Amino acid sequence: MRRHGENVCAEGGMRNAEKRKEKDGETEENAMSEEYAVKRPDGPVRWSVEVPGSKSMTNRALLLAALSDGSVRLDGVLFSEDTGHFLRALQDLGFPVEVREDRKQVVVRGCAGVIPEKTGEIYVGSAGTAARFLTAMLGFSDGMYTVQASEQMKRRPMGPLFELLEAAGAAVTYMEKEMCLPVCIRGSAPVKEAGPLELKLDISQSTQFLSALLLISPLAGSGLRIHITSDKADGSYIRITRKMMEDFGVFVSFDGRNYEISGRAVYHRTQYTVEPDMSAACYFYAAAAVTGGRVLVRHVHMDNTQGDLKFLGVLEQMGCTVEETGEGIVVCGPHGGTLRGLCVNMNDFSDQALTLAAIAPFADGPVRIEGIGHIRRQESDRIHAIAAELHRIGIRCDEEPEAVTIYPGAPHGGVIETYDDHRVAMAFSLTGLRADGIRIAGPECCAKTFKDYFTILDRLCGEQNLYPGKEKCNV
């Protein structure tokens, strides 16, 4: 049942939300008042660096642990704004959580699919994974909850998930705009039936809707069958979800169009290690590419399950060499940082579209990035951000609904507008490794996933020869 405007949840939630809005506003204002001036290295970089744990895997692991039938120790956890919102939401819902940030550990005592608190409010900030995954869990609960979000998250798609939760029996009250956060949600509290619950889903806007339903599928009682109606039926993040579910003891059947999880599924595990964040590693690998240097990211290996590993193949096509060592993967850029132009479909690893766009001006021919229409609906309209910010520093970029083409050129200095989007900020810092005068507005937005990024970059640029490796590179 859809309702708009009628608030069936605690009034205190609205008061708390207003306080959070004020805090978010202060944070955004402070962030936009500062700039980071990228230090251009004197020559090819030689870096050795570590990156934090994967945000996507951390938040999946937190949910799996909370739904498990006992205590789970998570190692390699990322501590950032997004994961912080997820952790606090679990605590607000009554899950026992022990945080050991100095050891990059979290211990969650799972409640076997039961949410301890039957009423309450959570705040997901701008975290898409927290918004989609936790809302799905609440939709299959036996309680009533308010889900609040940042202004940025309120603009991001949620409709397909709300429609499915309502079809499954949940009651959703839209507190501001139809099909958007914030909402009040009364869970469907499903009972075990003769057969699995059957749902249909379009994942063209976001694969997180499917990951959310898969992750909470043990709550569906008698099982869950999801028929995908969009052309896209699979993706790298969905494969991560399925692999992690299997690591926790629940198998997902997939025939190319339908996903099915049997009834009586139970998550169980005592320890799980989160992989290093491949998305973060790619910024440093791109630094090797654009400067003709050498970068080792420690503990990142070819068995990494994250989709952004495919970006290394793109760098190879552009003239880089990629080698796995005992310490981690090493990328060496081409001599002089002269990259090759190419055309690539990045639908399955679109978080790196901005990274490629930021180094594309230094290629010897056009760089065309296709299959990325969905990134217009992420933290910012990322296709427009690519075009606008490249134009701002003097680079020709043709913007299309689902693609961009970037032409070779010599970027001039300028202030990059980041749109409060962490990936815009980190990506365009790479342009500043080859162009003088690049400044990043609001660098604090990186706290969403990699709060120390600019601190690490500043140190690396100040001491650019930090890696004595002997791999076969051009430098």
Q: Which residues are catalytic?
A: 351
The Cα diameter of the chain in Å comes to 69
Q: Which residues of 323-353 are buried (b: 16+ CB within 10 A; e: fewer)?
A: eeeeebbbbbbbeebebebbebebbbbbbbb
Separation CA 6–CA 178 (nearest Å): 12
In three-state secondary structure terms, 214 is helix
CA distance 268 to 246: 10
Q: For strands 46-49 and 197-201, give the pairing.
A: unpaired
Closest C-alpha among 106, 154, 105 to residue 127: 154
Q: How far apart are CA 112 and CA 413, in angstroms?
A: 55
Provide the edge-to-edge strand list for the sheet that holds 328-332: 46-49, 294-298, 328-332, 321-324
Q: What is the dihedral of CA 353, 358, 362, 367, to 10 degrees?
A: 30
Kindly state the tokens that stand for 66: 């909370």
Phi, psi (rounded to 5 degrees) for 14: -65, -40
208-215 and 55-67 helices cross at what angle (nearest 10)?
30
Q: What is the DSSP letter of 375?
A: G
149 within 8 A of 125, measured Cβ to Cβ: yes
Read off the amino acid at residue 247. Answer: D
Q: How far apart are CA 223 and CA 434, in angstroms?
A: 54
